[in-house]
């Protein structure tokens, strides 16, 4: 850690502040040396003093004046780049936890404070800070739609192939359709180790071993993690394991492309949360557009920014009956990209188990995928520059 972290305790009750300090001393050998410790009775004191809150872990009791406190948290979070907030409350309802996390807190601890719960929260935040600092430029791109057969896998596969070819950097392609995914079929691969094995072993593998364990696509820099062969094994994979896999892969890969599938559960939400870009796939027909609208509503609820979501129209044909502007109006999101309808090339590619550019590099769909990959790569680079320099 480059700079010493400030640890700010905001709690009206002295007794409660003392308990926190007590637990801190039981968690760290010498916490007063590790952090700059400060405490105050109300968050308004912080705001009033105009205190510099960069590089701070803020522990704040929101049992009283919850709404007001959450508003202040939101504002502080917006104004401060490196602040990690843990909220505490004696009203530990699911609604309260969700509200608090949505306002920008990283963790929630119920009161009266249980030592292990408090320690877990602090450790999670410290891990997050460590990961932030060692964060590579790796970007996670997901394909998603809550409708089947819309082209999620085709897009994930062809995009990953193009990104690897274009950048020559390491790209991981993950099949999160944990039951009967078809990424490996689309690339005619027979991975020796699938998601279940990686989930259980990733922590014990060195980077070299990891790359040997993953299935490399031909001689390219694309590596594939397929769905488990055995459906029972799929159920054993947890959301925490998905998080762990992605966090670890980020250290080695430049891009991670995830075929998320149609399921919405804790595993897919973890992957969506961690994605830098979600390609929300739609085709131009009414039921698909309605589902896309519902997906957008879900993403809004999850607090995703509009920038994180890119609406992609697949199997697009000129002179569609429904106009692009109509779709944009319904979905409340601009169309980011259109992939042409080319059934013949696409079907040949799938049947041969190759990307479309291997069937015919001159086909409109192959050229389109190349341009799409390059647009995404440019966008992510620009986003990184803005993040670092603004």
Ligand X SMILES: Nc1ncnc2c1ncn2[C@@H]1O[C@H](COP(=O)(O)OP(=O)(O)OP(=O)(O)O)[C@@H](O)[C@H]1O
Provide the binding-site residues for ligand X, judged by CB under 6 A.
148-154, 177, 261-262, 314-315, 339, 341-343, 346-347, 350, 365
* Distance in angstroms (rounded) separating the CA atoms of residues 373 and 255: 11
Among 40-48, 134-142, 145-153, 301-309, the segment contacting Mg ion (CB under 5 A): 145-153
Report the partner that residue 347 touches, choosing among Mg ion, ligand X, none (CB closer than 5 to 8 A by kind).
ligand X
Among residues 27 and 146, whose Cβ is nearest to Mg ion?
146
Query: Two tokens at 190?
Result: 């027979």
Taken in order 341, 347, 353, 356, the sign of the CA dihedral is: negative
270 touching Mg ion, by CB under 5 A: no
Helix then strand then coil, in percent of the chain rounded to 5, is 50, 20, 30
Gap between the Cα atoms of 61 and 118, Å rounded: 13
d(CA 280, CA 369): 16
DSSP state of 186: H
Taking the complex as a whole, the smallest distance from the CB of residue 315 to ligand X amounts, in Å, to 4
Which neighbouring-strand residues pair with 311? 280, 335
By the 8 A CB rule, do 316 and 284 touch? yes
Nearest to 8 by CA among 74, 62, 72, 84: 84
* Nearest approach, Cβ of residue 161 and ligand X (Å): 14
- Closest to ligand X by CB, 122 vs 280, is 280
Q: What residues numbered 147-166 form the site for Mg ion, per CB under 5 A?
A: 152-153
Instruction: Say which entry of Mg ion, ligand X, none residue 365 contacts (CB below 5 to 8 A, set by partner kind).
Output: ligand X
265 or 378: CB nearest Mg ion: 265
Compare residues 127 and 351 and give the one whose CB is closer to Mg ion: 351
Q: Which is nearer to ligand X, 6 or 152 (CB)?
A: 152
Which listed option, Mg ion, ligand X, none, makes contact with residue 341 (CB within 5 to 8 Å by class)?
ligand X
For the chain, the distance separating the N- and C-terminal CA atoms, rounded to the nearest angstrom, is 22
Write out the residues near Mg ion by the rule CB under 5 A. Answer: 152-153
């Amino acid at each position: 850690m480059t700079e010493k972290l400030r640890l700010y305790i905001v709690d009206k009750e002295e007794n409660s502040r003392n308990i926190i300090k007590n637990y801190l001393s039981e968690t760290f050998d010498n916490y007063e040396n590790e952090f700059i410790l400060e405490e105050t009775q109300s968050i308004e004191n912080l705001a009033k003093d105009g205190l510099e809150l960069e590089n701070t872990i803020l522990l704040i009791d929101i049992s009283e004046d919850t709404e007001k406190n959450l508003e202040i948290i939101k504002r502080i979070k917006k104004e401060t780049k490196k602040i990690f907030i843990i909220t505490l409350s004696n009203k530990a309802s699911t609604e309260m936890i969700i509200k608090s996390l949505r306002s920008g807190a990283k963790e929630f601890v119920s009161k009266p404070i249980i030592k292990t719960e408090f320690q877990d929260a602090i450790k999670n935040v410290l891990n997050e800070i460590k990961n932030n600092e060692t964060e590579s430029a790796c970007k996670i791109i997901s394909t998603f739609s809550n409708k089947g057969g819309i082209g999620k896998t085709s897009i994930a596969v062809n995009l990953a192939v193009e990104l690897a070819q274009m950048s020559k950097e390491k790209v991981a392609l993950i099949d999160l359709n944990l039951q009967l995914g078809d990424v490996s079929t689309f690339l005619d691969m027979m991975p020796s180790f699938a998601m279940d094995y990686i989930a259980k072993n990733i922590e014990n593998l060195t980077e070299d071993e990891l790359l040997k364990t993953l299935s490399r696509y031909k001689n390219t820099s694309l590596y594939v993690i397929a769905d488990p062969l055995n459906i029972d094994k799929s159920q054993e994979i947890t959301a925490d394991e998905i998080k762990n896999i992605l966090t670890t892969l980020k250290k080695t890969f430049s891009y991670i492309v995830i075929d998320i599938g149609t399921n919405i559960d804790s595993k897919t939400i973890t992957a969506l949360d961690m994605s830098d870009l979600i390609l929300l796939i739609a085709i131009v027909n009414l039921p698909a557009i309605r589902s896309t609208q519902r997906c957008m509503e879900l993403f809004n609820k999850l607090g995703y920014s509009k920038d994180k979501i890119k609406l992609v129209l697949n199997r697009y044909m000129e002179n569609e009956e429904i106009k692009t502007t109509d779709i944009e109006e319904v979905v409340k999101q601009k169309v980011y990209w259109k992939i042409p309808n080319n059934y013949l090339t696409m079907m040949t590619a799938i049947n041969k188990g190759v990307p479309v550019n291997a069937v015919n590099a001159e086909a409109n769909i192959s050229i389109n995928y190349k341009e799409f990959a390059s647009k995404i790569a440019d966008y992510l680079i620009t986003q990184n520059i803005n993040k670092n320099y603004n």
